[in-house]
Structure 1
Amino acid sequence: MGPADDPDVILCTFEQVAMGAGWDRATWALWLAPYLAGKVQVTYIALSEEQGWNYDAVKEAVVDWVWLFSEKYHQKFRSARWTGGLQPWPFAQRLMDWVTHWLKPSTQTVWEIVDMLVLEQFLQGLPESIQELFDMTVMQSSYSVSREPFRI
């Protein structure tokens, strides 16, 4: 599993295979570990021995890393300013690369991307005192902005 992969899909598939094969849940982390690659594998290795044997701890660490990876590109995209160091077209390509890593258009529907963008702008448009009441990660997983009203 690498940064371009959707961890939810891969982990859900893994869990279905593990259950179908009748594997003891206590061994799931050991079965999953050889399929982790790159920085996700480094994240796994950084876990304590106890956490490395715990599938739920491994799953949480993998999902957190993938979210941080995506957020890094989000921040690069939002803070990018052309300074003249690059020609305009390579700068535009860099923006395209960053937004593609951030929004993952190959793994999300248009409406999921729209929801994410509207939610981000919604929060940025609120006064700071109200922004503090919202946890964006919870809101992203709990609400679909374009289809469900918020209640404060």
Structure 2
Amino acid sequence: MELPTPAPKVSTKHRPAYVQDSPTVAAPREPMLWADPKMPSFQQGEDIENYLRRFERLARTWRWLEEWSYRLVPLLTGQALEAYLAMDEEQAEVYTDLKEALLEKFNISPETYCQRFRSSTVPAGESPTETYHQLKNLYRRWVRPEEHSKEEIGEFIILEQLLRVLPYDAHTWVREHEPKSGLAAAKLAQQYLNAHRRGLRTQPPRGTVRGVSHNSGSDRGRVELSDNAQGPRQ
């Protein structure tokens, strides 16, 4: 009697793991899809920086496409919505431009972060590590190192320090002109100081004649001097 031919052995060497360990072949599972979390609308009086930071973390966590503006705009209210409506339509579609407009609307600029960085203190109950991360966050928002080279960052810090050591009136005038480098600030400061020196030279010297008195008697023809002038009366 002829014996049945045994079934050929099938090698599992190159088979997927989910096939090797299972008596039946199952197709791989599709990734589970989750509904996007709902971000609450921005409320008037809320900290716009914290709101945007929360929005950005949510966007990165859920790996949203970089076109974040279309997700953020429906959440804006009050001043934030006004800032959006005042923008050019195409520019408003770029999240970085929209963010910049929102911060500007609430008077938040790199100078704001610089002042916070310089005036930082350690609140009660805050650990040194928390303070470090707070300072690092302020530094990054102030300097924006990802957007600048080492040389530009160095020039930026020199500019800030130069403004700190200038006389108050010169400091205010130079800052109003928004110099982009320490050298530009130095030239502006020199212009300011030169102009004021010329102004001082054009003022009347001390003791200048103001006018002639027309009083009668011994005071007739008396020449009036400036308040600071000294000398015998005629």
TM band (smaller chain): 0.5 to 0.7
Q: Which entry has the higher C-alpha Rg, 1 or 2?
A: 2
Structure 1 CA distance for aligned equivalents of residues 170 and 184 of structure 2: 21
- The answer as to whether partners of 2:113 and 2:138 remain within 8 angstroms in 1 is yes
**Pair 139,37 (structure 1): closer, same or farther in 2 beyond 3 Å:** farther
Distance 1:117 1:126, change over 3 A: same
Show the 5 A alignment for 1:37-76.
38=72, 42=76, 45-47=81-83, 51-52=86-87, 63=100, 65-66=102-103, 68-76=108-116
> Which TM-score applies when normalising by structure 2?
0.38
Highest RCO, 1 vs 2 (Cα 8 Å, sep ≥ 6): 1
Structure with more helix by fraction? 1
Q: Give the structure 2 partner of residue 79 of structure 1.
A: 119
Of 126, 132, 145, 2:182 maps to 145
Within a 5 Å distance, the mapping from 1:71-110 to structure 2 comes to: 71-110=111-150
5 Å matches for 1:112-127?
A: 112-127=152-167
Question: Does structure 2 conserve the Cα–Cα contact (< 8 Å) formed by 1:82 and 1:91?
Answer: yes
**Unpaired segments ≥5 residues, structure 1:** 4-32
What is the TM-score with the length of structure 1 in the denominator? Answer: 0.53
The whole-number CA distance in structure 1 between the counterparts of 2:186 and 2:99 is 31
Rounded Cα–Cα distance in structure 2 between residues aligned with 1:100 and 1:48? 25
Q: Is the 8 A contact 1:45 1:52 kept in 2?
A: no
RMSD value, Cα:
4.0
Matched residue count:
117
In the alignment, structure 2 segments of 5+ residues that lack a partner are: 1-51, 54-66, 192-234
> What's the CA shift for 1:128?
0.9
